[in-house]
Amino acid sequence: MVEAFKTEKNETIYAVTDARNWGEVLKQIASYKKESLTNVKRKFKKSEAGYFIQKGKNIELYAGKAIKGSKSCIIVRR
């Protein structure tokens, strides 16, 4: 599953769950964005471990320490 988030600087960050390795992460982002895998591999280089939690209709994204009730994910940015 891929969730997209916009930052204050208008940068898009992707949170990917259910991926076991970097190749799976890139494939899920390519499918989500409907782009070729080659383009996605060229664009995205940075990743970090993170967590997200759904509160009502909002999804909050955290990097670092886990929060009770959160799901682990990989945060990917350019």
pLDDT, tens only, 33-52: 999 999 999 999 899 999 98
Task: Say whether 40 sits in a helix, a strand or coil.
Answer: helix
Q: Say if residue 54's pLDDT is above 90.
A: no
What confidence tier does 59 reach under pLDDT thresholds 50, 70, 90?
Answer: confident
Q: Is the pTM of this model over 0.75?
A: yes
CA distance 52 to 76: 13
Rounded mean pLDDT, 23-30? 95
Which residue bears the tokens 């009770």?
Answer: 68
Residue 9: burial class (beta carbons within 10 Å; 0-12, 13-18, 19+): exposed
CB atoms within 10 A of CB 5: 15
Element spanning 48, H or E = strand 46-55
